[in-house]
Amino acid sequence: MPTGVKATLLLVTTFALGVVVGVLGGGAVAQSRRDMRPPPPFAGGPEGRGGPPGLGSRGGPPGLEGRGGPPPDGRGGPPPSFVDLMMSIIQPRDSAQRMALVAILSAQDQKNRTIVDGARAAMKTSMDSLRARIAPLLTPEQVKRFDEFGQPRR
């Protein structure tokens, strides 16, 4: 076999091996990072209950129980709420600071939700307009796939 062909085969094999190692290694690193995540800041006690007095069972304002944060086993579930995430980043020094921050962060969370809800509504309107423009060009099967794309994921 000519030297040029051997060199090309070696180069292609090395590249393919690098891609495989990169994909598998990246997945392993991501999994280990998920496993090493600290528990949510308000998960005192075996059932995720606790936190300073006057706060809900997850340590947030009363009435926000059950929103956000992983389940007590620390795996799976929805992402942490905005308040939980900010509290884990800030790491309040005591319960007085924690309670003051929760009030401010909860108000900001509501503002953020209003912004996101408005953006979601604008995106829906835009996608409906797009569907109306492209539907005449698509087959029924393509329209079905387009419509499925726009459905909420569960």
Cα dihedral sign, 77-81-84-90: positive
107 pLDDT more than 60: yes
Domain boundaries, the chain: 37-149
Looking at residue 96, its amino acid is A
Instruction: Return the higher-pLDDT residue of 67 and 93.
Output: 93
98 pLDDT more than 50: yes
Average of pLDDT values for 70-80?
64
In percent, the amount of the chain with pLDDT more than 90 equals 44
Residues whose CB is less than 8 angstroms from the CB of residue 56 and which lie 6 or more positions away in sequence, other chains included: 62, 63, 64, 65
Determine how many CB atoms are found less than 10 A away from the CB of residue 85. 17
Cα 4 versus chain centre, distance: 48
Residues whose CB is less than 8 angstroms from the CB of residue 63 and which lie 6 or more positions away in sequence, other chains included: 56
Average of pLDDT values for 27-51?
56
Instruction: Return the higher-pLDDT residue of 138 and 50.
Output: 138
Which of 52, 57, 59, 124 minimizes the C-alpha distance to 86? 59
Distance CA 40, CA 35 (A): 13
13 pLDDT more than 90: no
Collapsing DSSP to helix, strand or coil, 2 comes out as coil
73 pLDDT more than 80: no
pLDDT given at position 79: 84
Average of pLDDT values for 76-86?
87
pTM equals 0.45
pLDDT given at position 154: 62
Q: Where are the alpha helices (DSSP H) in 36-151?
A: 82-90, 95-134, 140-149
Both ends of the chain: CA-CA distance in Å?
55
Number of H helices, E strands in the chain: 4, 0
